[in-house]
Chains A and B, each alone.
Chain A
Amino acid sequence: MTDLSMAAGTPPVKTKRSVMIYSRYERFWHWSQAILIFVLALSGFAVHGTLPFVKFSTAVTIHSWAAIALIVLWIFTTFWHFTTGQWKQYLPQISGLPAVIRFYAWGILTGAPHPYSKTLRRKQNALQSLAYLFFMVMIGPALWSSGIVYLTYPWWASWAIGTLGLPIVAFVHTAAAFLMITFVVIHVYMTTTGKTVTHYVRTMITGYDSIELTPAEIAYLEEERSGLLGK
Chain B
Amino acid sequence: MRSSLGVAGALFAVALLFSGVSRAEDVAEQLSSAPAKPVAAQKSSGLKGGTADHSKFEALKGPFADGSEVTKACLSCHTEAGKHFMKSIHWTWDYTNPKTGQKLGKHNVINNFCTNARGNEGMCAQCHAGYGWKDDTFDFSNQNNIDCLVCHDTTATYYRLPNSRGHDACGVMFEGKKPIDLPKVAQHVGLPGRQNCGTCHYNGGGGDGVKHGDLDSSLNAPSKALDVHMSPDGGNFACTNCHVSDKHIVSGSRYDMIAKDEKGPGAPGSRRDIATCESCHSSKPHDKPSLIGFQLDTHAERIACQTCHIPEIARGGVATMVDWDWSTAGKFIDGKGYALEEYKQGDGKERHTYWTIKGDFKWNENFAPTYKWFDGRMMYTTIDTKIDDSEQPVPINAVMGGPNDPKARIWPFKEMHTRLPWDPKNKSLVYNHLWGKDDTAFWGNFDMVKSVAAGMKIENRPFSGEVGFLPTVSNWPITHMVAPKTDAVKCGECHTEKSRLAGLPGIYMPAHSTVRWLDLLGYAMFVTTIGGVVLHGLARVVMGKKKTHGEV
Contact = CB atoms under 8 A, between A and B. Distances in A.
Contacts of B537: 189, 192
A60 B549 CA distance: 41
Nearest to B494: A56
Interface in B500-552: 506, 508, 510-515, 518-519, 521-523, 525-526, 529-530, 533, 536-537, 546-552
Nearest to A178: B522
A165 B336 CA distance: 65
Contact of B490 (A47, A57, A174, A179): A57
Contacts of A194: 547, 549, 552
A82 B446 CA distance: 91
A114 B550 CA distance: 8
A182 B526 contact: yes
A175 B530 contact: no
Contacts of A153: 298
Contacts of B291: 60-61, 64-65
A54 B389 CA distance: 46
A56 to B, nearest CB: 4
A178 B520 CA distance: 10
Interface string A98-121: 000000000000000010111000
A32 interface: no
B496 A49 contact: yes
B518 A171 contact: yes
Contacts of B496: 49, 52, 56
B547 A195 contact: yes
B297 interface: yes
Interface in A52-81: 52, 55-57, 60-61, 64-65
A154 B295 contact: yes
A60 B290 CA distance: 12
Contacts of B514: 48-49, 174
B511 A47 contact: yes
Contacts of A216: none
A48 B518 contact: no
A8 interface: no
A105 to B, nearest CB: 16
B508 A125 contact: no
B40 interface: no
B35 interface: no
Contacts of B491: 55-57, 60
**DSSP majority for the A interface?**
helix
Nearest to A47: B510
A125 B548 CA distance: 13
Given A47-B510, A194-B552, A189 B547 contact: no
Contacts of B513: 167, 170
A158 B262 CA distance: 13
Question: Interface range on chain A: under 10, 10 to 19, 20 to 34, or 35 or more?
Answer: 35 or more
Band of interface residues on B: 35 or more
A48 B497 CA distance: 10
Contacts of B525: 178-179, 182
Contacts of A177: 522
Given A158-B406, A162-B404, A195-B546, A170 B508 contact: yes
A195 B518 CA distance: 38
Given A49-B496, A192-B537, A60 B551 contact: no
Contact of A118 (B302, B518, B548, B551): B551
A154 B297 contact: yes
B61 interface: no
Nearest to A127: B549
Interface string A158-183: 10011000110011001101110110
B362 to A, nearest CB: 33
Nearest to B506: A162
Contacts of A47: 495, 510-511
Nearest to B549: A193
A153 B533 CA distance: 37
Interface string A34-51: 000000000000011100
Nearest to A154: B298
Nearest to A211: B552
Nearest to A115: B551
Given A56-B496, A57-B490, A186-B533, A116 B508 contact: no
Contacts of A91: none
A141 B91 CA distance: 66
A204 B52 CA distance: 85
28 contacts: A47-B495, A47-B511, A48-B511, A49-B512, A52-B497, A55-B490, A57-B491, A60-B295, A60-B491, A65-B291, A114-B550, A114-B551, A118-B552, A125-B549, A153-B298, A157-B301, A158-B301, A162-B506, A170-B510, A171-B515, A171-B518, A178-B522, A178-B526, A182-B525, A186-B533, A189-B537, A195-B547, A199-B552
Q: Which 4 A-B pairs have the closest CB atoms?
A: A178-B522, A49-B511, A162-B404, A56-B492
Interface of B: 291-292, 294-295, 297-298, 301-302, 403-406, 490-492, 495-497, 506, 508, 510-515, 518-519, 521-523, 525-526, 529-530, 533, 536-537, 546-552
Given A56-B496, A185-B530, 10 more contacts: A55-B492, A60-B292, A61-B291, A116-B551, A157-B302, A158-B406, A181-B526, A182-B526, A185-B526, A194-B552
